[in-house]
Amino acid sequence: MKDWAPSMGRFYDPRQRASLGRRGLGMGNSSALGQRREGSPTPARQAVAGSGPTSAARVGHAIVRLFGTLSGAGLPRGSVNMNWFSLFNAVSWQIALGAPVILYAQKLGADDALLGLLGALQPLLAPLQVPGAHLLPRLGYRRAMVLGWGARTAMLFVLASAPLWLASSSSRLAAILVCLVLFNLFTGLASGAWMPWQMELIPHAARGRFFSQQQIFAMFGGLVALGMAALLLLGRPGVGQFSLTLLLSAVGGAVAVLFLASAPDPSAPQARRRAGVRVPWLAMTRFAPFQRLCIFNMLFTLVLGGLGVFTVAFLRGVEGFGESSVVVLSALGVVGGLLSLLWSGLLMDRLPARLIIRSAVLVMALACAGWCMVAGRIVPCSPPLVGALYLFSGIAGVHATVANLRLQAAVIPAMGRNHFFALFGLVTSLAAAGSPLAWGLLLNALGAAHVYTGPLLWNRYTICFAGATALVFGVFWYCRRLIEAPWPVAETAVTPGNAPAVGRRPFRPVEYGG
């Protein structure tokens, strides 16, 4: 086992540091990076020198890129079951935690504060990953996930059947709250097994492509869910139509559990014990790459975690969009992410994760500015414009997610991995819980007051989106502090007294620009 040292300069294995001198900094002629920096053309470029690619060649290259992203080469046998789980799991949660259930609660009379609470339930209960991490060495990753996801799916069947045995709107609203509390409680206890399970199963060199595949499957499942929900909620939907939509969510969750039970679980008892080693909390929080990644995710989630709920409320309550129209427009975010990842998935293992994250955050800031102009009546709130905002937000969000997952896999070590992911989930979930609650309380406090400043109408939604825009630009500035290792640190461990201190300036092996 490699020892961790007090600085990034000694953090890695000496052979890797020597390799870095030749490869990472482009100092040797033997490295491909060094050759590219010296400008030597590749054989493929020499072959086409002086002639541009034909249209047929461009189409062929696009097809190869598409199937390269979805290829199973280099991935363990049976890992595709995890992708199918992601697809049907997305069918389930896209309805249970997305726009359809928010519209259902709004129809039953929920105010902005209660909508914010519903949006905050998942992150509020996600800290249960911390006690759940202690169960993983005993249960194993697959068994823990199957038990947790099976229990939460049962809550969806109960919620879908609630209109059959509850008559009043207040009792049905209470059923939504109770069932979603239990749904997210079981999710919190079991979800700490998901990322460690994938780290054990997927080799580092293929993780970017695997995470891209997983997001593609998940977004396709979400698109199917939103499309079917839009059909079920056409016109002026009643309680029965919302109940059928929730039944679709429950069935998707049940099929997801079946695929989850069929996925390979390669972790031997020794590997589970290593991942379950208890690491001092202070040692984990003082490890600079992990600490900065936690801070970034906390800020990013705190700013953007709850805005999705209130864009739906704005379109429905202020602009008068129908339920079906809101669902279709929000589905464009899924379409944008899906189509973009089909072509960029192969780049996820080649481009620096920090560069991808910064680009995605910048696009998200511009999307928030667009919502601010729509709410302030600077531009008309037309379906094409709203669809474009959802589209670009979806593209940015999915690329930020894949790059973030890859960065987590690179900086979180194998020894004590369960507790690292539990701590990471605790930090980000607290931020995600605070986000919709804070925005919801702010919107309630602002009330219906509005004032014009020139052509700009300042109302509660304008203030909300303007504040989010300013904060996202602050998150964009913080992205430069993320530390990206040029190789995985999966075989290293934190022990008391040897975690790199954040106060010291670490050796930064690669720089990807300011």
pLDDT tens-place string over residues 178-222: 999 999 999 988 988 888 888 888 887 778 788 888 888 988 888
Judged against a pLDDT cut of 60, whether residue 26 lies above it is answered with: no
**The pLDDT of residue 514:** 29
Measured between alpha carbons, how far is 341 from 220 in angstroms, rounded to an integer?
A: 11
pLDDT greater than 70 at residue 5: no
Residue 126 has pLDDT above 60, yes or no: yes
The residue among 2 and 132 whose pLDDT is bigger is: 132
pLDDT confidence of 506, banded at 50, 70, 90? very low
Residue 306 has pLDDT above 50, yes or no: yes
| Averaged pLDDT score across all residues of the chain | 76
CA distance 402 to 330: 20
Least confident of 167-181, 201-215, 284-298, 367-381: 201-215
Please tell me the predicted confidence (pLDDT) of residue 510.
Answer: 31
What is the model's pLDDT at position 358? 92
Confidence (pLDDT) at 13:
38
pLDDT tens digit sequence for 106-125: 888 888 778 878 877 887 78
pLDDT band at 58 (very low <50, low <70, confident <90, very high): low
Which residue did the predictor score with more confidence, 325 or 268? 325
What kind of architecture, by CATH, is found in domain 76-264+272-481? Up-down Bundle (1.20)
Task: Name which of 231, 225, 248, 240 is nearest 324 in CA terms.
Answer: 231
Per-residue burial over 12-42, b if 16 or more Cβ lie within 10 Å, else e, is beeebeebbeebbbbeeeebeebeeeeeeee
CA distance 218 to 364: 20
Neighbours of 409 (CB within 10 A): 21
Model pLDDT, residue 23 = 35
How far apart are the C-alpha atoms of 331 and 231, rounded to whole Å? 13
Task: State the average pLDDT over residues 412-438.
Answer: 79
Q: Say which residues have a Cβ less than 8 Å from residue 496's Cβ, sequence separation at least 6.
A: 280, 283
Backbone angles phi, psi at 30, to 5 degrees: -80, -15
What's the Cα-to-Cα distance from 125 to each of 196, 310, 402, rounded to whole Å?
A: 19, 21, 23
Reported as a pLDDT band with limits 50, 70 and 90, residue 46 is very low
Residue percentage of the chain with pLDDT more than 70: 77
What confidence score (pLDDT) does residue 10 get? 33
Determine if the pTM surpasses 0.85.
Answer: no
Distance between CA atoms of residues 399 and 393, nearest Å:
10
Cα(248)–Cα(225) distance, rounded to whole angstroms?
A: 8
With tokens 């490869």, the residue in question is: 23
- C-alpha 307/C-alpha 28 separation (Å) is 48
Q: Which of 78-82, 83-87, 142-146, 255-259 has the lowest mean pLDDT?
A: 78-82
pLDDT surpassing 70 at residue 25: no
Q: Is the pLDDT of residue 447 over 50?
A: yes
Mean of the pLDDT values across residues 167-173? 87
Nearest C-alpha neighbor of 226 from the set 336, 107, 325, 116: 325
Query: What value does the mean pLDDT take over residues 80-86?
Result: 91
Please tell me the distance from the alpha carbon of residue 136 to that of residue 139, in angstroms, as a whole number: 5
Residues 424, 404 contacting (CB under 8 angstroms): no
Bigger pLDDT: 480 or 501? 480
Average pLDDT of the residues in 3-23: 36
The string of pLDDT tens digits covering residues 388-403 is: 999 999 889 888 888 8
- Going by pLDDT thresholds of 50, 70 and 90, the confidence category of residue 380 is confident
* N-terminal to C-terminal alpha carbon distance within the chain: 34
Instruction: Calculate the alpha carbon distances from 194 to 143, 393, 479 in Å.
Output: 11, 26, 26
Of 219 and 275, more confident: 219
pLDDT, position 473? 92
> Which pLDDT score, from 0 to 100, does residue 146 have?
94
| pLDDT beyond 90 at 80 | no
pLDDT score of 48: 39
Question: pLDDT, tens digit, for every residue of 311-330?
Answer: 888 888 788 888 778 878 88
3-class SS at 494?
A: coil
pLDDT at 1: 38
Structure tokens given for 309 = 């709920």
For residues 186 and 443, the model is more confident at 186
- When pLDDT is averaged across residues 499-507 and rounded to a whole number, the result is 37
Query: And the tokens for 321?
Result: 């969009």
At residue 357, the pLDDT reads 92
pLDDT of residue 271: 53
Q: What percent of the chain has pLDDT over 90?
A: 18
Rounded Cα distance, 83 and 89, in Å? 10
- List of E strands, 192-319: none
Compute the distance between CA of residue 253 and CA of residue 464 in angstroms, rounded to an integer.
Answer: 34
